[in-house]
Amino acid sequence: MYKLPFAIIRLPKCSKYFLIENDKNGSNLYKFNSFNNSKQYILSYHNLIELHKPEFKNLNFSLSKSEEVKILNKNDYITLVNKTIDYIKNSNALKIVISRNLWLSRSNINPINSFLALCDANPNSFCHLSVWNNDEIWIGSTPEILGYYDNSIFKTMALAGTLPNKNSYHWSEKEIYEQKLVSDYIYQILNIYCDNISILGPETYGLNHIKHLVTHFSSQIKNDKSIYELINALHPTPAVCGLPLNLSKKFIDENEGYDRDFYAGFIGLEDISFKKYFVNLRCGKLFSNGALLFVGGGITAQSNPEKEWYETEMKSKIIVECLK
């Protein structure tokens, strides 16, 4: 059995796979941060080790069996979305991101083959297989960059609004408004921590069978600020929580009914020469008897509950169709 913990990653728009082996003397870090900041796993490593497909067979490890988990069914999710819409209309909330978990029963999941399939299907996303212990084996393919820091330049994005990736589907007022909320918020944060902010978008960002609206930001961190301060200020963004942040977070804690764990948290890759952070979306935990997946969507006063359910179903397919 391969020594745990370790991780395999594939960076966006990159054809190479890298292994991260734990070494307590390593100067670089691979960070796994939970949504509510209560939990963090860290791998210290010396270098990213390039992996070729024939070498994947050496990474053997066992999966544990999942205990029974409470899952939100369609009726319960739609009821929660209706409650969220009513709350938004009668409070100061503008947007609240409501998520759900789902269980996919499988007795023969191969984590390595699933990771490779996820990479092939999502070339523009950050893909990872993060094996912390036999009970916490996370797999994911996220399109959302929380932050890139390289040569004093900081880049981030506002990613919100989802539709099927077909020309017949056009952005409605709801998706445009939802994306603008996220963009405006990120710009406000960048104004505090950064200078020379440039903005590109919003534009359509096609990913497999779904598409998003995205706005790209590029800036320089002020001399008296740090990358860590900025990342902590950005997380969680309204793309995974809502606006106002504290109001949305409180509603989520009191109504969502389950622990998001590392879903909608962030993953950090901190090297000597660069720092990259990704929001942990389109992800799940792998077990010997199936996979526990996590999906969500932004709710506004204009939301249609049935469409919101359909959006989560579309997002879940990104992982479901790649489990091998």
Cβ partners under 8 Å of residue 17, min gap 6:
8, 9, 10, 50, 51, 52, 53, 56, 119
Class of the 6-320 domain?
A: alpha beta
In the predicted structure, residue 1 carries a pLDDT above the cut 90: no
Provide the pLDDT for residue 304. 97
Give the residue among 37, 2, 114, 74 at the shortest CA–CA distance from 280.
37
Per-residue pLDDT band at 70 (split at 50, 70, 90): confident
* pLDDT tens for each residue of 73-115: 999 999 999 999 999 999 999 999 999 999 999 988 999 999 9
Provide the pLDDT for residue 273. 85
Burial of 73 per CB tally in 10 Å (0-12, 13-18, 19+)? exposed
Per-residue pLDDT band at 171 (split at 50, 70, 90): very high
Provide the pLDDT for residue 240. 97
Structure tokens at 301: 């006063």
Provide the pLDDT for residue 90. 97
Instruction: Answer for the pair 316, 293: CB distance below 8 angstroms, yes or no.
Output: yes
CA distance 120 to 144: 17
DSSP 121-181: H-TTSEEEEEEEETTEEEEEEE--EEEEEETTEEEEEEEEEEEESSTT----HHHHHHHHH
